[in-house]
Amino acid sequence: MKAMSVIPGKPDSAAAEEVPDPPESDGSILVEGLLVGICGTDIEITRGYGQPPEGQQRLVIGHESLGRVLQAPEDAVVNAGDLVVGVVRRPDPVPCAACAANEWDFCENGRYTERGIKGRNGYGARRWRVDPRFAIPVPASLGDLGVLTEPASVVAKAWEQTERIAARAPVGGRVALVVGAGPIGLLAALLGVQRGYEVHVLDQVTVGPKPQLVAGLGATYHHGAAADLDLRPDVVMECTGIGQLVIELAGKMAPAGVMCLAGLSSGQHSVPVNLDAVNSELVLENAVIFGTVNAAKRNYAQAVQALAKADPGWLGGLITRRVPLDTWPDALTRQPNDVKVTVDLTD
Residue 41 binding ligand BGC, by CB under 6 A: yes
3-state secondary structure of 189: helix
Q: Where are the extended beta strands (E) located within 215-277?
A: 220-223, 235-238, 258-261
Residue 39 binding ligand BGC, by CB under 6 A: yes
Q: Which is nearer to ligand BGC, 11 or 211 (CB)?
A: 11
Minimum distance from residue 154 beta carbon to ligand BGC (Å): 5
Is 134 in contact with 276 (CB distance < 8 Å)? no
Residue 293 binding ligand BGC, by CB under 6 A: yes
Minimum distance from residue 279 beta carbon to ligand BGC (Å): 29
Residue 43 binding ligand BGC, by CB under 6 A: no
Minimum distance from residue 264 beta carbon to ligand BGC (Å): 7
Element (H, E) at 30: strand 29-38
DSSP class of residue 126? S
Cα gap 23→277, rounded to integer Å: 55
Residue 65 binding ligand BGC, by CB under 6 A: no
Minimum distance from residue 85 beta carbon to ligand BGC (Å): 12
Q: What angle do CA 215, 181, 5 make, to 5 degrees?
A: 135
Element (H, E) at 309: helix 297-309
Residue 114 binding ligand BGC, by CB under 6 A: yes
* Number of residues counted as binding ligand BGC (CB under 6 A): 11
User: Out of 29, 136, 154, 323, which residue is the one contacting ligand BGC (CB under 6 A)?
Assistant: 154
Bin 90: left if φ > 0, else alpha if -120 < ψ < 50, else beta.
beta
Residue 117 binding ligand BGC, by CB under 6 A: yes
Please, which of residues 314-333 interact with ligand BGC by CB under 6 A?
A: none
User: Out of 58, 63, 129, 200, which residue is the one contacting ligand BGC (CB under 6 A)?
Assistant: 63
Q: How far is CA 123 from the centre of its chain?
A: 15
Q: Which is nearer to ligand BGC, 294 or 342 (CB)?
A: 294
Residue 193 binding ligand BGC, by CB under 6 A: no
CB-CB neighbours of 230 under 10 Å? 6
CB-CB neighbours of 42 under 10 Å? 28
Which positions touch ligand BGC (CB under 6 A)? 39, 41, 63, 88-89, 114, 117, 150, 154, 293-294
